[in-house]
Structure 1
Amino acid sequence: MSERTVDVAIIGSGTAGLNAMAQARKAGKSFVLINGGEPGTTCARVGCMPSKAMIQVAEDYHRRTHLGKYGVDGHEAMTLDIPEALEHVQDLRDIFVDRVLGSSTDDMPGDLFIQDYARLLEPTLIEVAGQRIRADAVVIATGSRPLIPKPWRAFGNRLLTTDDVFELEDLPESMAVIGLGTIGLELGQSLSRLGVRITGFDQMDEIAGTQDPEVGQSAIDIIGKEFPIHLGQAAEITQEGEKLRVSAGEHSVLVDKVLCSIGRVPNVEGLGLETLGVPLGKQGIPAFDSSSMQVGDLPVFLAGDVTGERPLLHEAGDEGKIAGYNAARGESARFRRKTPLFINFCDPNICAVGQRWSELDQDRIAVGQIKLAPVGRALIMGKNKGVIRIYADKVSGTLLGGEMITPKGENLAHLLCWCIEQGLTVGQLLRMPFYHPVIEEALQAALYDAYGKIEAKNEGGLTELRRL
């Protein structure tokens, strides 16, 4: 079997792998990019982008239910061609995938990009496509796949995963969604708005990964008005004729299909991580430094969803850059990670920024809150539901984090995240300009609420103005 050498071998051509490759190129190092399975990144194929396309179709169609308030006649007669809508989602998905491939691997020669599954024979010796590749450093960015409990696999195509939803040509009349984290909740609400009778289940007591009790309860109350949600008990599936029965405690429903969205597992089967010579932890992943992405003291680095820690595109990109930088330079440089940012694109958006509720010392924080009901802009939009909660240090007023369920939450969360990243205080934010009427005024109101509870005040008299 032939063997060749490269400076950096990258296993996985998703977001993390492509960013690692960019670092190797920038450093002028030789490299090989190896990919098993479908190319095109999880985000473009089955994640961020097709899900947002489906959410947009569902939101636009759902908007018809509000048109009567504005005097629009005939809104109840509006119909939706489901196969055509799904084809639209798939067309957009294909565009996104083609763009990724066109700007990355499509024109790469075969010695640089190998489309096959790799296996480690040693920490830096890889066997793939009938050859062996010796590398100075290896980046493992093999991604993840939906978790399906083994007994549930017997239900065949009646059990869907997020990878399957975007291949559907039509929708069933009824569906149970098991797992109401980000993906399950987004798709569950969208499918409900597209006319599917949805019932949601989750063994946790909250949805969308919320931790703040006020935000969590508000989310359950709001989303629960669109479809039934059963929490706190694990769901079980049994077959009844051509249908499936999903049961959790006293709750039971008979459905055509089940969407399983209970989590994802790293793609490491057959990869040979045992050859690294270090203990393998949860789900077969070795311990690594999340600031350098290095495994022990080996020239091996992990990046992206395979780690299971921050399964988000922007985090995968950063991890790929860190891993690629160190792999290309033979270093173990540690980098400060960015302020955590989580956005669920259900309606209203559910977002978390910075430190989470469970991480905070409740005796040392000031909490600012505003409910969306009286917010003028939200009322005009017909979306005045939800709550915004921000957390600040009670003494200094420094922003620490926040959680919210609110319209335009994707925008407000970014603003708050940027301010936390800059180390700003509540008082400094209140000196920023706020237009009227805008949804950002809701954030301003939460800041005022927090400002009254902290010790540090702005100099100059007025909270929002600087004295000349």
Structure 2
Amino acid sequence: MSETYDLIVIGGGSAGLVAAGGAGILGARVALIEKRALGGDCLYTGCVPSKTLIRSAKFASDVKRASEFGFEISDFKFQNGSFASISNRVQSVIKTIEARDAPEVFEKMGVRVIFGTPRFVNPNEIEIMLKDSGEIKNLKAKRFCIATGSSPLVPPIEGLKEAGFITNEEVFELKDLPERLVVLGGGAIGAELGQAFQRLGAKVTLVEMAERILSKEDEEISALMTEIFRTEGVEILAETKAVKVRKSEKGEKVLTIEKGEKTREILCDEILVAVGRKPNTHGLDLEKAGVKFDDKQIFTNERLQTSAKHIYAAGDVTAHFQFTHTADYEAQIVLQNCFLFYPFTRKIDFRVVPWATFTEPEVARVGLTEREAREKFGKIKTIKAAFDENDRAHAEGETAGFAKIILHKKKIVGASIVGLRAGELIHEFVLAMRHNLSLADLNKAIHVYPTLSKITQAVGTKQTLENLKSPFTQKWFAGYLKFWR
């Protein structure tokens, strides 16, 4: 006989944990189904391990810059086993954070945690092959939330599978540093890991099909990061297509690339594929549930309902924004909509979604880029403040970058930052856009000196100075001074 729940959540990643945990705390009868371990991609193969690896890479970079800070360190290099030690530290950080997502934590919230492989039998019932025993268990529910996440997309390159490659799912388990690494994809994952491995001692070649790396970001930011990467030794091949891979007689991987009519072969020890993500829908038998999907996403409406209205989807599997913070946000929407009725349900609102790429310097953005804003509004205004004008940036020895704010009729419609701690600094503009605050409003807040956040005030000050220098203001104040004197 099938067990019946108020809500069954399929997938124990970021979205699934938020949805299941929230429902359990509210007192709902909820089951959480996960194939492997709670925590998902972010914990095991994404955000956590990548930022931990990046921290080690930054340390290596800082040591090489020791003389800039008054130290002399000679002959700095990796010893035998150094990269294995870095990988061990990555796994150690994962283990520390893993405890927060332990099954017992969610069981105390009232969640039934079941490990196994689920599939829909009909729109109201799933069948689970239990992970430990292989037994089949059937569960029914009034509502479902599909939060199965995404997996690396592997491009159909001739010989790639035969020659071998790694993705973000294997890279953090490496025990030996590849001497020559080719990264396919110049987006966030490719850029972060490419720079990190170059700093750790690999010779990195980054291959990107688009005209520039970080193509979703402001063009000035892409140009600056390209310059920085090349200065650090990363070879960047934009507008370049990987067409074939083979193994040499020596066991090396030989990648054939194509740019226009020219071809070239690159010898490497490893190929890291970072060209995008695909939804984890295989094996769910969504057709039996009446859920529409394709190879890119599960389709949802503004309330995150699928084509079967009692079945919701959240996180990477929807392909809206594949970030942990948006997965959390979507899960909150699902939680509210599962248990409440109109007018207390909510629609998703992606107008103000920030993100960051944790290269060095960091890149962060919310809203529109300059090009997007011009295409949408026509007449806009941009205001920039450079980190070179920030006193704390000079003290830190990190003056590369700038903040660029996009205004349409005095309203902030976009903000892009490239610089030290950009991922932290972007939130002031997120708040401003969310609550329709102007630069003048932000400038009224007293910012601690000397901090990097003074760059926010610097942007506002630039706008204020422009306004004070306008012919109208100058003329008006000149007249006022005559009266005042």
Question: What TM-score does the superposition give when structure 1 sets the normalisation length?
Answer: 0.89
One-letter code of the match for 1:61?
A
Matched, 1:415 2:428: yes
* Corresponding residue of 2:456: 443
* Corresponding residue of 2:481: none
| Unaligned 5+ runs, structure 2 | 130-135, 478-485
Matched, 1:138 2:144: yes
Answer whether contact 1:340 1:355 (CA < 8 A) is retained: no
SS in structure 1 opposite 2:241? coil
Matched, 1:248 2:261: no
Q: 1:26 to 1:97 in 2, by over 3 A?
A: closer
Q: 2:407 & 2:104 partners in 1: Cα distance?
A: 42
Q: 1:74 & 1:233 partners in 2: Cα distance?
A: 39
Matched, 1:315 2:322: no
Q: CA deviation at 1:26?
A: 3.7
SS in structure 2 opposite 1:411? helix
SS in structure 2 opposite 1:373? helix
Larger radius of gyration: 2
Correspondence 1:77-92 to 2 at 5 A: 77=76, 79=78, 81-92=82-93
SS in structure 1 opposite 2:245? strand
One-letter code of the match for 2:313?
L
Correspondence 1:97-116 to 2 at 5 A: 97-101=98-102, 104-105=105-106, 112-116=112-116
Q: 1:28 & 1:268 partners in 2: Cα distance?
A: 29
One-letter code of the match for 2:281?
V
Matched, 1:194 2:200: yes
Q: 2:76 & 2:156 partners in 1: Cα distance?
A: 44
Q: 2:334 & 2:158 partners in 1: Cα distance?
A: 36
Q: CA deviation at 1:298?
A: 1.5
The root-mean-square deviation of aligned C-alpha atoms, in Å, is 2.7
* Corresponding residue of 2:393: 378
Q: 1:280 & 1:100 partners in 2: Cα distance?
A: 29
Identity %: 25
Correspondence 1:115-194 to 2 at 5 A: 115-129=115-129, 130-151=136-157, 155=161, 158-194=164-200
* Corresponding residue of 2:14: 15
Deviations for 1:121-153, whole angstroms, at most 9, x for unmatched residues?
Answer: 222221113132221111101111111135568
SS in structure 2 opposite 1:301? strand
* Corresponding residue of 2:42: 43
Q: CA deviation at 1:344?
A: 0.6
Q: 1:29 & 1:410 partners in 2: Cα distance?
A: 36
Q: 1:253 & 1:447 partners in 2: Cα distance?
A: 48
Correspondence 1:189-268 to 2 at 5 A: 189-226=195-232, 227-241=234-248, 242-246=251-255, 247-249=257-259, 250=262, 251-268=264-281
SS in structure 2 opposite 1:315? helix
| Unaligned 5+ runs, structure 1 | 463-468
Answer whether contact 1:86 1:170 (CA < 8 A) is retained: no
Matched, 1:306 2:313: no
One-letter code of the match for 1:337?
D
Q: 1:157 to 1:252 in 2, by over 3 A?
A: closer
Deviations for 1:274-311, whole angstroms, at most 9, x for unmatched residues?
Answer: 2243543453x34212x411113620100111111111
Q: 1:44 to 1:271 in 2, by over 3 A?
A: same
SS in structure 2 opposite 1:403? strand
Q: 2:291 & 2:91 partners in 1: Cα distance?
A: 42
Q: 1:57 & 1:151 partners in 2: Cα distance?
A: 32
Q: CA deviation at 1:35?
A: 1.2
Q: Taking CA–CA contacts closer than 8 Å with sequence separation of 6 or more, which of the two structures ends up with the larger relative contact order?
A: 1
Segment of structure 1 superposing worse, 411-420 or 429-438: 429-438
Q: CA deviation at 1:413?
A: 0.9
SS in structure 2 opposite 1:433? coil
Q: CA deviation at 1:159?
A: 0.5
Q: 1:31 & 1:411 partners in 2: Cα distance?
A: 35
Answer whether contact 2:160 2:244 (CA < 8 A) is retained: no
Answer whether contact 1:24 1:325 (CA < 8 A) is retained: no
One-letter code of the match for 2:94?
R
Deviations for 1:327-348, whole angstroms, at most 9, x for unmatched residues?
Answer: 2346682235362101011100
Q: 1:278 to 1:17 in 2, by over 3 A?
A: closer
Q: 1:271 to 1:336 in 2, by over 3 A?
A: closer
Q: CA deviation at 1:441?
A: 2.9
One-letter code of the match for 1:116?
G
Q: 2:392 & 2:5 partners in 1: Cα distance?
A: 57
Q: 1:374 to 1:454 in 2, by over 3 A?
A: closer
Q: 1:153 & 1:326 partners in 2: Cα distance?
A: 47
Q: 1:112 & 1:184 partners in 2: Cα distance?
A: 37
One-letter code of the match for 1:288?
T
Answer whether contact 1:50 1:90 (CA < 8 A) is retained: yes
Q: 1:38 & 1:178 partners in 2: Cα distance?
A: 28
Aligned residue pairs, count: 453
Answer whether contact 2:21 2:106 (CA < 8 A) is retained: no
Deviations for 1:129-184, whole angstroms, at most 9, x for unmatched residues?
Answer: 31322211111011111111355685468411001011111211110011111111
* Corresponding residue of 1:465: none
Deviations for 1:397-419, whole angstroms, at most 9, x for unmatched residues?
Answer: 22221112111211211222122
Deviations for 1:56-91, whole angstroms, at most 9, x for unmatched residues?
Answer: 111011101211133312244354522212211111
Segment of structure 1 superposing worse, 235-244 or 272-281: 272-281
Answer whether contact 1:392 1:450 (CA < 8 A) is retained: no
Deviations for 1:332-372, whole angstroms, at most 9, x for unmatched residues?
Answer: 82235362101011100011112344542353321101233
SS in structure 1 opposite 2:102? helix
Q: 1:170 to 1:99 in 2, by over 3 A?
A: farther
Correspondence 1:391-402 to 2 at 5 A: 391-393=406-408, 395=409, 397-402=410-415
Q: 2:16 & 2:152 partners in 1: Cα distance?
A: 20
Answer whether contact 1:351 1:413 (CA < 8 A) is retained: yes
Q: 1:74 & 1:377 partners in 2: Cα distance?
A: 25
